[in-house]
């Protein structure tokens, strides 16, 4: 199954940028190419020798950013669901 990551379509996921165009572009490509999976996974890169504390810190930060993004999406959905 082909994966379409919205980050590769220009989404920032920073809580400030409107990523609607990037998300829609990923969805459209997925549909046009016969399906697949559209993912919103943040990109996490750890370079060098990282110990467990560093990895836990990175993952905690990613979780917080995801939760912020999810809350914003839910608020947008609530505003447009009339």
Q: What is the pLDDT of residue 49?
A: 60
Kindly give the pairing relationship between strand 3-5 and strand 37-39. parallel
Torsion, Cα of 31, 68, 9, 1 (10° steps)? -40
pTM confidence score: 0.52
30-82 pLDDT, tens digit each = 889 988 888 886 655 555 565 667 667 767 777 788 888 888 888 887 666 55
Q: What is the pLDDT of residue 57?
A: 77
Torsion, Cα of 9, 13, 14, 20 (10° steps)? 70
């Amino acid at each position: 199954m082909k994966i379409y990551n919205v980050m590769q379509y220009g989404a920032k996921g920073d809580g400030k940028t409107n990523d609607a165009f990037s998300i829609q572009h990923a969805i459209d490509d997925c549909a046009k190419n016969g399906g697949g999976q559209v993912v919103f996974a943040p990109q996490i890169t750890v370079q060098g020798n990282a110990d467990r504390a560093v990895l836990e810190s990175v993952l905690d930060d990613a979780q917080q950013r995801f939760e912020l993004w999810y809350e914003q999406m839910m608020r947008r959905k609530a505003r447009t669901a009339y």
